[in-house]
Amino acid sequence: MAAALGRGQVAIVVDPDAELLLGLRPQVLIDATMVKRNCGTLRTDAPVVIALGPGFTAGDDVDAVIETNRGHDLGRVLLRGTALPDTGIPAPVGGHAADRVLRAPRAGRFLGCQQIGEAVAAGATVATVDGEPVISGIAGILRGLLHDGVEVTGNMKVGDVDPRAIPS
């Protein structure tokens, strides 16, 4: 992280418990956990605090909220108010909705077998949770996947597949 900052680059830190926050004292903090709720992010954590998706209120607990729900407002920066609530229903892509979402088969430690951007076949193992396979129900491009080592709960969303099979 220090090397990236020394080169004038943006450092992205995976720190679910915000243990580094006090020592770093960042000028900008972006909560991109996408857990659909505020797990403790405060407007006072940095001079500028931004959050992605539902669970935050711009002007209250953060300075700005970025809309993450598909549609016309995707990416909109809100300086007052909240993002649209989580529908719990994946948006259809290429004729697939719930079947494109990868879910943990059980609680445990997550380990990816493939990388974001790679092609996956229907029935392919893309990750494991404590050795139990996470299997893609459809063919496509792996569009999202958790980091290795994350502790997950059973049925938790761990990634998704884009059936259009167009690499980004």
Mean pLDDT of 105-127: 96
CATH code of 128's domain: 2.40.50.100
Q: What pLDDT, on a 0 to 100 scale, did the predictor assign at position 14? A: 75
Q: Which of 50, 11, 58, 46 is nearest to 33 (CA)?
A: 50
Residue 70: inside a domain, yes or no? yes
Residue where a domain terminates, one of 53, 82, 111: 82
Number of structural domains the chain divides into: 2
Q: Do residue 77 and residue 102 come from a single domain?
A: no
* Separation in Å, CA 152 to CA 5, 111, 115: 31, 10, 18
Q: Do residue 127 and residue 77 come from a single domain?
A: no
Q: How many angstroms separate the CA atoms of 139 and 126, rounded?
A: 11
- For strands 64-66 and 48-52, give the pairing: parallel
User: Does the pLDDT of residue 74 top 70, yes or no?
Assistant: yes
Q: What pTM was estimated for this model as a whole?
A: 0.73
Residue where a domain terminates, one of 82, 111, 134: 82
Structural domain range at position 78: 2-82
Q: What pLDDT, on a 0 to 100 scale, did the predictor assign at position 168? A: 59
More confident residue, 80 or 33: 80
Residue 130: inside a domain, yes or no? yes
Q: Do residue 15 and residue 45 come from a single domain?
A: yes
Q: Which segments of the chain does DSSP mark as H helices, in order?
A: 2-6, 21-24
Residue % of the chain over a pLDDT of 70: 99
Contact 44, 30 (CB under 8 A): no
Position 75 confidence tier, pLDDT thresholds 50, 70, 90: very high
